[in-house]
């Protein structure tokens, strides 16, 4: 796989790892993206990988900085990083796949699949979980969260922790981003499918779409092209705080590459895996009980960037940050993965800066 080469002659050539196409991009645009990224990511520090596609063809693909500071290993475009909450779009797709198979309905009360879960007198639907409108408190914001972050927890133990908190509001009345809802979706996937979340995702999503660098992350499994994560301190950079991957689970435990994210986007655009109407529903804003839109579908934010309709979601987790943006009308897709959780500017801002260069 080739990194992007800035050459003479007024064009920039890039190797499309997903489609294996060599395509030309206007040199000023590619050069400006490279200049932007080089401003923030230095060769001897944690870095970033950025990929931009236009109508499925890669027009920019380059890595910056180091994958491993201790071993002095440079980042390469094909390497795999933790993607944090970008995981949510994969989890949402798994739920939609089960819905298309008739194994669940988005209108189902979650106690149909998690009968022991305490809903505190309210009816919480699967769709409430997908849209962050369930009122379930975000477990990563609880005061007790730091005390368990390093501990391997079972799904049952985590459900007990989450359900011990009272609801913040009646389901459907408000939008409040909550990792808890997507943790519960993982538990529902396991109950309905009879397999672990990790196994279900591998068999039903990663393998069929040939996402060869996308995994349920593990602190012990040997993962090809694994990238280390870092946190900035006043002394420089330290290895990121340890996190048991049982904690983020279906809300944020995946690791992937920009190439696989682009392949994933291509599958969505082509209507693979799910029916077109399912993908459309996932990328349409949900509506509250008062009729107001939330700006969030199933696993994606639905908003405007540079005045254009955009589908976006970022991810932050110990040692890593990332963002993905799709512009449906213009055909652009941007994926940025960073192996630092203290990047300035943040990855969402970087993606918006790249978008400004593409859409000017």
Distances (CA, A) of 226 to 80, 214, 244, 260: 5, 11, 17, 14
Please provide the average confidence, as pLDDT, over all residues in the chain: 92
Q: Which pLDDT score is estimated for 23?
A: 56
Counting the structural domains of the chain, the total is 1
- Residue 105 belongs to what domain range? 5-359
Distance CA 322, CA 83 (A): 6
pTM value is 0.92
Distance CA 141, CA 147 (A): 12
CA angle, corner 303, sides to 301 and 305, nearest 5?
120
User: Which CATH number characterizes residue 49's domain?
Assistant: 3.40.710.10
Q: Which pLDDT score is estimated for 25?
A: 56
Distances (CA, A) of 69 to 72, 82, 279: 5, 17, 40
More confident site: 1 or 106: 106
b (16+ CB within 10 A) / e for 24-50: ebebebbebbbebbeebbeeebbbbbb
Q: Which pLDDT score is estimated for 193?
A: 98
pLDDT in tens, 190-215: 999 999 999 999 999 999 999 999 99
Q: What is the DSSP string of 232-273?
A: EETTEEEEPPP--TTTTHHHH-EEE-HHHHHHHHHHHHTT-S
Rounded mean pLDDT, 313-319: 97
pLDDT in tens, 5-55: 222 122 233 333 344 454 555 667 999 999 999 999 999 999 999 999 999
Highest mean pLDDT among 23-27, 92-96, 341-345: 92-96
Q: Which pLDDT score is estimated for 5?
A: 25
Rounded mean pLDDT, 232-243: 94
**Window from 11-20, 235-244, 272-281 with minimum mean pLDDT:** 11-20
- The answer to whether the CB of 262 falls within 8 A of the CB of 335 is yes
């Amino acid at each position: 796989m080739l990194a992007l080469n800035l050459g003479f002659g007024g064009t920039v050539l890039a190797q499309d790892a997903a489609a294996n196409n060599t395509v030309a991009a206007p040199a000023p645009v590619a050069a400006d993206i490279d200049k932007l990224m080089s401003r923030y990511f230095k060769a001897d520090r944690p870095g970033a990988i950025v990929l931009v596609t236009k109508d499925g063809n890669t027009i920019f693909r380059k890595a910056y900085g180091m994958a491993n500071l201790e071993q002095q290993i440079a980042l390469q475009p094909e390497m795999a990083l933790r993607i944090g909450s970008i995981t949510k779009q994969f989890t949402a797709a798994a739920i939609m796949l089960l819905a298309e198979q008739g194994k669940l309905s988005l209108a189902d009360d979650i106690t149909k699949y998690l009968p022991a879960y305490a809903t505190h007198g309210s009816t919480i639907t699967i769709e409430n979980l997908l849209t962050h409108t369930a009122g379930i408190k975000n477990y990563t914001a609880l005061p007790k969260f730091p005390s368990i972050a390093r501990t391997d927890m079972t799904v049952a133990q985590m459900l007990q922790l989450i359900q011990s908190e009272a609801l913040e509001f009646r389901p459907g009345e408000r939008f409040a981003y909550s990792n808890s809802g997507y943790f519960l979706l993982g538990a529902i996937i396991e109950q309905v499918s009879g397999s672990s979340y990790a196994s279900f995702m591998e068999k039903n999503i990663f393998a069929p779409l040939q996402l060869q660098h996308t995994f349920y992350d593990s602190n012990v499994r040997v993962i090809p092209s694994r990238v280390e994560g870092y946190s900035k301190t006043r002394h420089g950079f330290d290895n990121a705080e340890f996190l048991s991957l049982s904690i983020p689970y279906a809300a944020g435990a995946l690791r992937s590459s920009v190439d696989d994210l682009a392949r994933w986007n291509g599958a969505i655009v082509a209507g693979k895996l799910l029916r077109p109407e399912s993908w459309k529903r996932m990328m349409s804003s949900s509506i509250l009980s008062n009729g107001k839109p939330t700006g969030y579908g199933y696993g994606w934010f639905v908003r405007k960037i540079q005045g254009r309709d955009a589908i976006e979601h970022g991810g932050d987790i110990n040692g890593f940050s990332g963002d993905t943006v799709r512009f449906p009308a213009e055909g652009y897709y941007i994926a940025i993965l960073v192996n630092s959780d203290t990047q300035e500017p943040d990855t969402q801002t970087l993606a918006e800066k790249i978008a400004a260069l593409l859409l000017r």
